[in-house]
Amino acid sequence: MMRTFLVVGADGKRYGPADVPMLLRWVQEGRLVAGTVLVDAATNESLSAVSIPELRAAFFEPGSRGMVASGGGPGNIEATQTAYRPPAGGATPPTGLQPLQAALNESISERSKVTAGLLGIFLGWCGAHRFYLGYTGIGVLMIVATFCCGIGAIWGFIEGIMCLAGAMRDVDGKRLRD
């Protein structure tokens, strides 16, 4: 008898059942990732997709879109984000961890939030942190604001704290590294 699984979606609902060949196809299409939660239909046990032996090899195959190696072998693997695609044949695809996948895939800037924060706190009056993050226009505006009305210093100090808290991004929209 073939094992079947229910897929836990982002809404917490269970979809399926889906057999192993269907799950393998979803891995190859990039619609199922290693961290997707599956429930064994026979035992009602919750498992991650990568913990199922029949699926595990598919996540580590070259060209698999369910996982991507970031160098250093199987111990250094991260999940990839997959876009939602409507399924063929009326089956509901797994969408359980898409917000988590997006967070894992988010690009990290080469610029440091500590450096940007300290520049903002100590040299914020001249927009040094904005120049560091790539926002040259706003940096020039901060210099003008400092000499015209003195508000650039307070503005820079506040943004320095925001940088340290991780609330600011660089000019490319990437999150600042720790």
Mean pLDDT of 79-88: 40
pTM of the complete model beyond 0.75: no
Please answer whether residues 168 and 162 qualify as being in contact, where contact means their C-beta atoms are separated by less than 8 angstroms: yes
* pLDDT of amino acid 61: 62
Nearest to 30 by CA among 90, 100, 87: 87
Give the pLDDT confidence of 118-171 residue by residue, as tens digits: 999 999 999 999 999 999 999 999 999 999 988 888 999 999 999 999 899 999
Please answer whether residues 79 and 67 qualify as being in contact, where contact means their C-beta atoms are separated by less than 8 angstroms: yes
68-72, 95-99, 100-104, 121-125: least confidently modelled range: 68-72
* pLDDT of amino acid 137: 93
16-20, 62-66, 114-118, 149-153: least confidently modelled range: 62-66
Confidence grade of residue 78 (pLDDT, cut at 50, 70, 90): very low
Q: How far apart are CA 28 and CA 38, in angstroms?
A: 17
